[in-house]
A and B are shown apart, each in its own frame.
Chain A
Amino acid sequence: DGGITQSPKYLFRKEGQNVTLSCEQNLNHDAMYWYRQDPGQGLRLIYYSQIVNDFQKGDIAEGYSVSREKKESFPLTVTSAQKNPTAFYLCASSLDSAGTRALHFGNGTRLTVT
């Protein structure tokens, strides 16, 4: 069953700790994305990657970091520098980065930092 898998579903961390969210896809998609979903704010782009070993900042990249060492994996690290890390995080992929391509989303990870 092809798709995008995000893990874990729920994650709890104490303030000041870095945490890494996993995103794996077996769709053979080139492009991958991380969005943050907050109530009333829609989806905001954190980082995206069009190809392995390359990625670009999105609109709200501060306090986050990513890597793209393999085509199927695009982990997101929420660092202690992120001021409001508690949120719902969505990973997505698309066949390529052409504007007409639909995004395929994972089920999301809900991160709570206390």
Chain B
Amino acid sequence: AQRVTQPEKLLSVFKGAPVELKCNYSYSGSPELFWYVQYSRQRLQLLLRHISRESIKGFTADLNKGETSFHLKKPFAQEEDSAMYYCALSEPGGSYIPTFGRGTSLIVHP
């Protein structure tokens, strides 16, 4: 059963608009959650992880255990944010191998 759900295959916004990429998960414990990004012609790379509570390239993501969500947000999208974004979950102490969502393609129009 899929444990990480990214409901949007494609998200299209204009430059300067806020962006939110949704990620919901199903796990009863305390998961480790990550966002990975794949820019055009580049390798897949880590964007941020929830335990670091960091902001990378203006993106933030907050773990909401009540809603089992880990949405990725940025207040003002830039054209260079256009990429494929994957949410991933690890289960510490259990099967810790990361499980990925199906990905959301973000397109930021000028």
Q: Which A residues lie at the B interface, using CB under 8 A?
A: 33, 35, 40-45, 48, 58, 90, 92, 97-100, 102-108
A-contact bits for B69-110, CB 8 A (1 contact / 0 none): 000000000000000001000111100111111110000000
Task: Tell whether B62 is near chain A: CB-to-CB under 8 Å.
Answer: no
- What class of interface size applies to chain B in its complex with A? 20 to 34
Contact status B46-A97, CB under 8 Å: no
Beyond contacts A58-B97, A100-B51: 19 other A-B pairs, Cβ-Cβ < 8 A, are: A33-B97, A35-B100, A40-B9, A41-B102, A42-B6, A42-B86, A42-B100, A42-B103, A43-B100, A45-B97, A92-B44, A97-B97, A98-B92, A99-B32, A99-B93, A99-B96, A100-B49, A105-B45, A107-B43
- Once bound together, how far apart are the Cα atoms of A48 and B90, in whole Å? 14
Which of A40, A41, A100: most chain B Cβ within 10 A? Answer: A100
B101: A residues at CB distance < 8 A:
42
A-contact bits for B29-65, CB 8 A (1 contact / 0 none): 0011010100000011110010100000000000000
Pick from B32, B86, B100: contact of A100, CB under 8 Å: B32
Contact status B102-A40, CB under 8 Å: yes
Pick from B31, B44, B99, B102: contact of A105, CB under 8 Å: B44
Q: How far is the CB of A108 from chain B (nearest CB, A)?
A: 7
- Once bound together, how far apart are the Cα atoms of A105 and B92, in whole Å? 21
A-contact bits for B1-33, CB 8 A (1 contact / 0 none): 000001001000000000000000000000110
- Once bound together, how far apart are the Cα atoms of A107 and B42, in whole Å? 7
